[in-house]
Amino acid sequence: MSGNALARAAGLVASSLDRAVGPVVVAVDGRSGVGKSTLAAQLAEQFGGLVIEGDDFYAGGTGILGDPPASRAARCIDWQDQRRVLGLLKRGQAAAWHAFDWDAFDGSRSAQATRVAPARLVILEGTYSARPELADLTDLRLLLRVPDAVRLVRLLAREGEIGPWETQWHEAEDWYFAHAAPADQFDLVLDGEG
């Protein structure tokens, strides 16, 4: 993330915090491998905010699916639970959820709840974080983009390979950003070189 992109995002967050009476919820969205987690962490550090990882709410299963990308995009993330959590935090209350257990990778959720205290700035980071079903709970929607070649290098470094399981979710992301969350629906689009 370039310093200029971070400064633009930080300026928008600062302005929202100055105007808001209650907690500000920022959705940091983008395709896998674009740097959402990095930007969210930088904003949280700068403003003393709370980061909620969208992957905690993964609900897409562990198998290869044959349904259309639109169906996968609709169910990939348990947005109803995200709504519950964001609603509590938006009202200045503590929240808890059971994250998807990525280590077990058997469809289960962690036995131990993730618990968070209320915060003035709440950042929901992850693909699908700016989905329409959460629009009334998010104050800012930020979209990060990098060239596909950069994404692929990052994803291969992180995942080791891109197999059929990953590919099915990339197809769902394609549908999501073309139909459910196109770039013109965001408050700020940050294009990076990587």
List pLDDT tens digits, range 54-89. 999 999 999 999 999 999 999 999 999 999 999 999
Residue 32 near residue 173, CB atoms below 8 Å: yes
pLDDT of 108 higher than 90 = yes
Q: Is the pLDDT of residue 1 over 80?
A: no
Question: According to the model, what pLDDT value does residue 169 have?
Answer: 93
The answer to whether residue 193 scores a pLDDT higher than 80 is no
Q: For helices 36-47 and 3-19, what crossing angle results, to 10°?
A: 50
| Mean pLDDT in residue range 28-42 | 95
Task: Give the C-alpha separation, 32 to 29, whole Å.
Answer: 9
Helix (H) or strand (E) holding 67, with range, is none
Most distant pair of Cα atoms in the chain: their distance: 47
For residues 169-176, average pLDDT: 96
Q: What is the pTM of this model?
A: 0.95
Looking at every residue in the chain, the average pLDDT score rounds to 95
